Chain A
Amino acid sequence: MLNPLSQYMPAALLGILVVLPAQAAGDPVTAPYAAELRAVDPGFSGFSTAQGQALYRGRFTGGKPDTPSCTTCHGDNPRQPGRSLTGKALAPMASTASPARYADPAKVEKWFGRNCREVLGRECTPREKGDWLSYVRGQ
């Protein structure tokens, strides 16, 4: 006679195995967003660089007319420097080109707040932030 609990063990183990790689990858930058998602969706299986690319490159109409896209300031190529509308040079967004970026979670959140409202006219969701970071940093 099997203990009812043990019937679920394989499933639980499998669950842990699926979740672990994401955490084991130990990406401290996207971890808070992954945790937020997992709290509401236990089936969350990781971020999508394709979705991140769509957000980075997309042109949107919900925000300010002079900033339709992340590329407006951060440039078409995340490995190259960008430029703000006031002419200030911005370090590249890709981690290979700017290893010092994304080290301060408060700074990351502050700029997601400002830039998503400016481009999309709304906050970015945790999934969008994770997707975007996964794409841009991996470039």
Chain B
Amino acid sequence: MIQRLVRPVLLLLAGVAFSLVLLNRVQAGGSHYFPPVADPLVNAECGSCHLAFSPAMLPARSWQALMGDLRNHFGDDASVDPVTAEKIRRYLVANAADARGQRQGERLLRGLAPERVPLRITELPKWVSEHRELSARSWRDPKVRSRANCTACHADAALGYYED
């Protein structure tokens, strides 16, 4: 009698375990997803020199600051006409990491003091801790060249995925 019950129960337990693993993976995958830029104008102007970074990776105050001085943009001149700049600014601010409903973005801002205005994703405390284990050598790899070259290590960064 007991013997006849064991098999179905075991099967059930295996099924539950499997679903838990799946669910876990889906949630984990979700935590690596940062919606990519969906606006063609922003993609064209902010995706020509580097990946068009997801607006959900910096707080609104950072985008305001970056858009306030495109002429001196990390040593480059990224300036655009004022009308275009205003459209880009609005898009980035509306989709910023601290905008309503950006759970991933909020997680990336953990540890960031509210008075700080980071101009780089790569200076966020959470970004730094996620990348702490990478050796100095992997940053010097000629295929990487820059920390901002997310795509070198995250092949699907342009699609918004940052696992491995």
Partners in one complex: yes
Total chain A interface residues with beta-carbon distance under 8 A: 11
Which residues of B lie under 8 Å from residue A84 when comparing CB positions? 48-50
CB distance from A70 to the nearest CB of B (A): 15
From A87, A88, A110, A118, give the contact of B76 (CB < 8 A).
Answer: A118
> Which chain B residue has the least Cβ–Cβ distance from A83?
B145
Total chain B interface residues with beta-carbon distance under 8 A: 18
Known: A86-B49, A87-B151. A117 touches B145 (CB 8 A): no
CB distance from B6 to the nearest CB of A (A): 57
Contact A114 B152 (CB under 8 A): no
Binary contact track A108-126/B, C-beta < 8 Å → 1, others 0: 0010011001100000000
From B77, B80, B143, B145, give the contact of A86 (CB < 8 A).
Answer: B145
Which residues of B lie under 8 Å from residue A110 when comparing CB positions? 80
Contact B77 A114 (CB under 8 A): yes
- Residues on B lying within 8 angstroms of A by beta carbon are 47-51, 75-78, 80, 143-146, 148-149, 151-152
- Residues on A lying within 8 angstroms of B by beta carbon are 64, 84-88, 110, 113-114, 117-118
